[in-house]
């Protein structure tokens, strides 16, 4: 039996974690031969800690053979001690009357603390995925506060948008989703994101040969950008199971590699690829191999695409400027 | 690629299904080579149908490669058309002021309709697990209303109790849950159930040699019987993820077989084993092979055990008598 992997999950008593933890503990993240210790973080508030107790009781009640330990923490550094993987799910949600700037700052506080804690305590090869919104900027703050960890340890999740775009394309093209490849989500996990089908294929054929550009530009792009709101409207609460599933996909592919000739969307620290400002956490097409991601470079981009890529970059710059005081 | 399997889930917009559907769709029930069609049933009420829409949207958004179809139904017979597996999760919950008799009757109505629908429409080798409470009696009603299906097609879930007992024993014995074997849950999935450790082992050693009988009889048995209430008290809502996980375990072991020398707990139609009244749906120790379960017979039972086994049988008889008018 392998040595147990330590997996941290923050916001552990929340709805996304409730869909995520049981899939990790059942072996869907790391496979059937890898024991897991879950290290869970919650805020030190009575209601959250009671709910966390309930989740931990239910994890025990599943009798998962691979789950060899569950820890409850309210201190980030204790939670991140020697962790191999970290899902940063918890974030301050927007409350009625809250300005966007206040939301950014409240989260910047959380993620600067968590970045410092990862820096101090996590495995030197930790893989971090930020799910809590605003995910890209939260990730940037955590990464900048963790100078002793490689920037390549950090990522933010745009895989949910990626999967949503794949599902929309499959439905439109009358194909199965497994036959869709090379969707790209560029930029921010927000309504400015750019879901790009220019390189996508359906059973190997260019997607844009199979669908009309009107549907793509006028219907699909906004549908993917606004999908979160559509889910809230139907369910009465925000996407949880699909967000958790995307987080599993993101981390699983990062660890075990992407399929040959396929890329996935991951928001990572920009090195200036595609003329995006260095240091922003920007979603790019990526391939993964041997536990490392690589941005797919030199794809041809149209004027239409470059305009969209710039719009979402501009939003990320604004977010960064809004939290400048917390960036070392 | 195999022909897709048809999996029905009732109460599809509820909390247990929200934890169950994504695990089925991701391949955890039937494995990585088996495409799945989910056939979902909900009551014809606006709020439930909106919520179901949201769940179906999220299932699409996961881009599960094995999920080749999702159907929404409000008619049981349409839902169960040619299904290979059925998870009967939906049931009428107890409302404030509702008498137990009213609850039994309301559910008996639902499950007699569903039994008839399975009888008319399902695969002749369908495997049914009833999760919705009172699960054993609901299962009996469905089975009695499906005379053209073998009684062995029907079961009710006591695997959650089984897993809970295994977790409690592991914690007490300082062992890992994977090293626990041969827990038995006898009888009804209710507070009269009898979690029996007389045949249980911890790493091959008799469990009762490792723990004191006081803990077993005075603490553990009531703790397992009352675990559902403890979860509600902590979480503020009832067990969902752990119930879904147990439902996966139950059906997975039934389909793919139990490990050698290990048994699991399943509530099945009694053939009179252990002098339990024939025709009741009673939880027994079972092994599974080639897609069939078999009750483990001729285990030695103490006076203590027989008293407990009888108590839970008596409750099942009372439940049956309460719904006699709906039993063909």
Partner-chain contact B245 A26, CB within 8 Å:
yes
Interface residue of A36, A49, A61, A229 to substitute, partner B, most B CBs within 10 Å: A61
- Mean pLDDT, residues A225-247: 94
- Please give the share of chain A, as a percent, with pLDDT higher than 70: 100
Question: Quick one: pLDDT at residue A101?
Answer: 83
Q: Å from A68 to nearest chain B CA? A: 7
Partner-chain contact B163 A242, CB within 8 Å:
no
Q: Å from B110 to nearest chain A CA? A: 25
Partner-chain contact B234 A163, CB within 8 Å:
no
Angle of helix B15-25 relative to helix B46-61, nearest 10 degrees, comes to: 30
- Give the nearest chain A residue to B24 (CA atoms): A23
Question: Quick one: pLDDT at residue B326?
Answer: 81
Whether the per-residue pLDDT at B269 is higher than 90: the answer is: yes
Partner-chain contact A63 B163, CB within 8 Å:
yes
Partner-chain contact A62 B22, CB within 8 Å:
no
Cα separation of A116 and A214, whole Å? 46
Residue A261 — very low, low, confident or very high, per pLDDT cuts 50/70/90? Answer: confident
- Give the nearest chain A residue to B31 (CA atoms): A28
- With a threshold of 0.90, tell me whether the complex ipTM lies above it: yes
Cα separation of A153 and A159, whole Å? 17
**Which residues have a Cβ under 8 Å from the Cβ of B118 and sit 6 or more positions away?**
B76, B80, B83, B86, B126, B128, B142, B146, B149, B153
Contact call for residues B236 and B11 (beta carbons, < 8 A): no
Q: Å from B151 to nearest chain A CA? A: 28
Beta-bridge partners for A154: A128
Name the residue facing B167 among A63, A66, A234 (closest C-beta).
A63
Considering chain B, what is the average pLDDT of its residues? 96
Name the residue facing A51 among B28, B235, B245 (closest C-beta).
B235
- Mean pLDDT, residues B121-126: 98
- Mean pLDDT, residues B154-179: 97
Q: What sign for the dihedral angle of Cα A19, A22, A25, A26?
A: negative
Catalytic residue among B189, B199, B250, B252: B189
- Which residues on chain B are in Cβ contact (under 8 Å) with A65? 176-178
DSSP string, A13-26: TSHHHHHHHHHHHT
Name the residue facing A241 among B22, B160, B170 (closest C-beta).
B22
Partner-chain contact B23 A18, CB within 8 Å:
no
Whether the per-residue pLDDT at B229 is higher than 70: the answer is: yes
Question: Quick one: pLDDT at residue A221?
Answer: 96
Determine how many CB atoms are found less than 10 A away from the CB of residue A77: 16
**B189 has catalytic annotation:** yes
The DSSP code for A187 is B
Q: What sign for the dihedral angle of Cα A122, A125, A127, A130?
A: positive
Contact call for residues A206 and A313 (beta carbons, < 8 A): no
The DSSP code for A71 is E
Question: Quick one: pLDDT at residue A1?
Answer: 67
Considering chain A, what is the average pLDDT of its residues? 96
Interface residue of B37, B58, B243 to substitute, partner A, most A CBs within 10 Å: B58
Partner-chain contact A62 B242, CB within 8 Å:
yes
Contact call for residues A215 and A203 (beta carbons, < 8 A): no
Give, rounded to a whole angstrom, the gap between the first and last alpha carbons of chain B: 42
Name the residue facing B241 among A58, A65, A68 (closest C-beta).
A58
Question: Quick one: pLDDT at residue B1?
Answer: 67
Contact call for residues A286 and A293 (beta carbons, < 8 A): yes
Question: Quick one: pLDDT at residue B179?
Answer: 96
E strands in B48-166:
67-73, 85-88, 127-130, 154-156
Pairs across A and B, CB distance < 8 A:
145
Residues written for chain A = 328
Query: What are A18-48's pLDDT values in tens digits?
Result: 999 999 999 999 999 999 999 999 999 999 9
Query: What are A125-165's pLDDT values in tens digits?
Result: 999 999 999 999 999 999 999 999 999 999 999 999 999 99
Partner-chain contact A167 B61, CB within 8 Å:
yes
- Mean pLDDT, residues B143-164: 98
Residue A96 — very low, low, confident or very high, per pLDDT cuts 50/70/90? Answer: confident
- Mean pLDDT, residues A72-97: 94
Q: Å from A61 to nearest chain B CA? A: 4
Q: Å from B88 to nearest chain A CA? A: 20
- Which residues on chain A are in Cβ contact (under 8 Å) with B23? 22-23, 26
- Mean pLDDT, residues B269-277: 98
The DSSP code for B185 is E
- Mean pLDDT, residues A50-72: 97
Partner-chain contact A176 B55, CB within 8 Å:
no
């Amino acid at each position: 039996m392998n040595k147990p992997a330590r997996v941290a999950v923050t916001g552990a008593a929340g709805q996304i974690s409730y869909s995520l933890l049981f899939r990790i503990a059942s072996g869907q993240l790391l496979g059937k031969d890898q024991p897991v210790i879950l290290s869970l973080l919650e805020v030190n508030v009575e209601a959250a800690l009671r709910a966390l107790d309930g989740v931990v009781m239910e994890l025990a009640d599943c009798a998962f053979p691979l789950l060899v330990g569950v820890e409850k923490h309210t201190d980030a550094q204790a939670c991140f001690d020697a962790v191999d993987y970290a899902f940063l799910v918890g974030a301050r949600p927007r409350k009625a009357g809250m300005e966007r700037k206040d939301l950014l700052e409240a989260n910047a506080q959380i993620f600067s603390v968590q970045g410092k804690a990862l820096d101090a305590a996590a495995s030197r090869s930790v893989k971090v995925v930020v799910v809590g919104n605003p995910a890209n900027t939260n990730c940037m703050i955590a990464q900048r506060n963790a100078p002793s960890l490689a920037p390549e340890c950090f990522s933010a999740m745009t895989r949910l948008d990626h999967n949503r775009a794949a599902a929309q394309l499959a439905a439109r093209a009358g194909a199965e989703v497994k036959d869709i490849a090379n969707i790209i989500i560029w930029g921010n996990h927000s309504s400015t994101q750019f879901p790009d089908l220019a390189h996508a294929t359906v059973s190997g054929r260019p997607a844009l040969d199979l669908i009309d550009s009107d549907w793509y530009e006028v219907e699909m792009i906004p549908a993917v950008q606004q999908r979160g709101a559509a889910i809230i409207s139907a369910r009465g609460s925000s996407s949880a199971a699909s967000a958790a599933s995307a987080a599993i996909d993101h981390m699983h592919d990062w660890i075990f590699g992407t399929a040959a000739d396929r890329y996935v969307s991951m928001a990572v620290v920009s090195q200036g690829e595609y003329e995006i400002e260095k240091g922003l956490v920007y979603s790019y097409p990526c391939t993964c191999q041997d536990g490392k991601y690589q941005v797919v470079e030199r794809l041809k981009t149209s004027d239409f695409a470059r305009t969209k890529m710039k719009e979402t970059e501009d939003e990320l710059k604004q977010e960064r400027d809004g939290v400048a005081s917390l960036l070392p």
